[in-house]
Amino acid sequence: MCGLFVTLLGAMLLAMCAGSSWISPSAVLSDLGRLVMGDGSSEIDVRVQFRAPRVVLGMIVGCGLSVAGVVIQTAVRNPLADPYVLGVSSGASLGAVLLLYALPLKFYGLPLFAAAFCGGAAASLIVYVVGRARGAASSSQRLVLAGVATTYLLSALTSFVLTLVDRQGFGGSNVFVFWSLGSLARAQWDLVLIPTIVVVASLVVLMALRRRLDVLIVNDEHATALGAEPQKIRRVLFVVSAALVAACVAASGPIGFVGLMIPHATRFVVGPFHKRLLPNAALMGATFLVLADTLGRSIGGSHEVAVGIISAMCGAPCFLILLRRARWT
């Protein structure tokens, strides 16, 4: 875990340096030191001031989506589950966009998080009810199929609302890109607070439940025999995952496949037990999204590539590989 932490720090420094123009590491460290000391003088490079909240938000969102992926995969015992595939991200996006449509302002903060949480929780409930409608033998496949269908439906509704927003002049194509693809371009310090609180609080709760999560890996009968209550634990996990996804989507829009790739990569390195899986997945997800956003800012010149596009380009092949290897019996 120490190695991942050092890697994350290196990725954050690289992200501060790279972009449409390069800033030397020494200049970045010097300016960051001044910012920490409260020096608001004009000598501080304005590029550093703009990049710093974006890097921090990318770290928090990557951490939150990765942990949400771990939670969802554990709760449904499905290797293909993640917030994007199961429709949670799309539901959170629709909830947030509906609020912004009703209140066409730069409306951030707790109301936007609450709207995203309601949308994500509703999508999660729909997918779970439909996916568990029949026997347990088919539930794994049904969850994925129900999630994909729900994602398409909610994404279409989100696009429809965004079309109405565009016609009324409330943000135009930039808003459409943000809520359709996922982007960190709107990062500001006031956007960082709520996601940070939610991610930290969720990690504390999940680490306290780590042994019960380990029990869920096998089956419900085994969990019950050990004194756990699988359905009660799952309800807690769905609430926590919905809160994580809502906080991330409200700040960055829907960024897909982070919650699919990172948990699998982390399990490959540290194993399936949540005492090590959760913190390592958080660090690995934070590192991945910071680097992905840095790549998107660097390869497009004056026109950056949304981080959601970079994530999908990495995650879609991963999903196909897992789909090929998955066993539905």
Confidence grade of residue 137 (pLDDT, cut at 50, 70, 90): very low
In the chain, pLDDT over 70 holds for what percent of residues?
Answer: 87
Is the pLDDT confidence value at 173 over 80?
Answer: no
Is the pLDDT confidence value at 71 over 90?
Answer: yes
In the chain, pLDDT over 90 holds for what percent of residues?
Answer: 29
| pLDDT given for residue 329 in this prediction | 42
Is the pLDDT confidence value at 308 over 70?
Answer: yes
Indicate the average pLDDT of the chain. Answer: 83
Question: Residue 46: inside a domain, yes or no?
Answer: no
| Under 8 Å between Cβ of 127 and 62 | no
Is the pLDDT confidence value at 135 over 90?
Answer: no
**DSSP string spanning 125-142?**
HHHHHHHTSS-HHHHHHH
| pLDDT given for residue 138 in this prediction | 46
- For residue 201, the tally of other CB atoms under 10 A from its CB is 14
| pLDDT given for residue 56 in this prediction | 94
Question: Residue 14: inside a domain, yes or no?
Answer: no
Closest CA to 322 of 9, 80, 67: 80
Is the pLDDT confidence value at 281 over 90?
Answer: yes
Is the pLDDT confidence value at 188 over 50?
Answer: yes
Question: Residue 175: inside a domain, yes or no?
Answer: yes
Question: Residue 128: inside a domain, yes or no?
Answer: yes
Question: Residue 42: inside a domain, yes or no?
Answer: no
| Strand, helix or coil for residue 218 | coil
Per-residue pLDDT reduced to its tens digit, 27-55: 888 877 777 776 655 556 666 778 889 99
Question: Residue 139: inside a domain, yes or no?
Answer: yes
CATH of the domain at 237: 1.10.3470.10
| pLDDT given for residue 58 in this prediction | 95
Number of domains making up the chain: 1
| pLDDT given for residue 294 in this prediction | 93
Q: What is the residue range of 275's domain?
A: 54-325
Question: Residue 22: inside a domain, yes or no?
Answer: no
3-state percent helix, strand, coil for the chain, nearest multiple of 5: 75, 0, 25
Question: Residue 259: inside a domain, yes or no?
Answer: yes
